[in-house]
Chains A and B, each alone.
Chain A
Amino acid sequence: MLIRQVVKKVVRQAGLDVAGFLEAANGQEALDILMKTPVDLVLSDINMPGMDGIEMLMRLRQIERLQELPVIMVTTEGSEERINEAMDLGASGYVLKPFTPERLVEQLGPLGLLCKREDGVEPPPDFSDPTAF
């Protein structure tokens, strides 16, 4: 719950539209939402009650229309084994908690989701004010 608020704040500061920000408490709730609602990006923890993030990712990739959906894992699970497992299942990025805003935004850039100026260049988010994070 707390991390979802922090993530929402960071992605909004990075220029993403968070008006349609949807939240799920575990993997099953996330899948239920994804089956009904088109989304642009999934940010998911691995350790969650019920269905964890790895199983959610595995099931999500079995659904044809969700195979290309960007999924970034945001988790404390930092072993090579677990990172490789997520990436092999098609995770688009992997952010370890605790994270800086910059670290999360780094993962969003390659996905082409950040707002672009008229010249096509992504404006750098301003995280210089610590109290704003």
Chain B
Amino acid sequence: MNKRNYELLVESTRDVFETMSFMEVIQNDPITVSAEIPGIDITAVICIAGEISGMLGVHCSKQFAAECFDMMTGGEGGAPSYQQLCDTVGELANMIAGTLKRRMSSKLDLFDLSLPSISVSSGQRLFYTGAKDDFPRLLVPFVLANGEKFYVELLYHRR
């Protein structure tokens, strides 16, 4: 695991939550051994292409997405639709990826980011099966103050 990239991913995630929703998030150690994570309803993926290629993903439950929507809209958004929940997770992934990109390369576009792609399911399991040496995979669990968990994943390869 690249410690610097882990730190950048954690800092970027915390920055997004603390700035946009005033929510403090606490990271746990990255998952490094095979694991099966239940309770995933929404996954947002941003593809990365350029000097660094790969993907950044945010995996979470509907409850987590609803909590974020509520905090970011100050409760004015009413009860969010499923589409709004998906949009919320997509926007979180977009902002985390954008912040990570800026922290990695402020002057030049080291890589480009795609628009988010969203997968929805109900109570699916996320499997972590390890990473290859030349294609590191970081999967970092985060937890909100209310105990709600979410996962941020970075899979990347530098040319």
Contacts and interface: CB of A to CB of B under 8 A. Distances in A.
Interface of A: 1-3, 5-6, 9, 47-49, 75-82, 96-100, 130-133
Interface string B38-82: 000000000000000000000000000000010111111100000
A118 B95 CA distance: 39
B15 A1 contact: no
B109 A2 contact: no
Given A98-B19, A130-B22, A79 B73 contact: no
B16 to A, nearest CB: 5
B102 A78 contact: yes
Interface of B: 15-16, 19-20, 22, 69, 71-77, 83-84, 87-88, 91, 94-95, 97-99, 101-102, 105-109, 113, 115
15 contacts: A5-B73, A6-B20, A6-B72, A47-B94, A75-B98, A76-B94, A76-B98, A79-B102, A79-B109, A80-B106, A80-B107, A81-B109, A97-B20, A98-B20, A131-B22
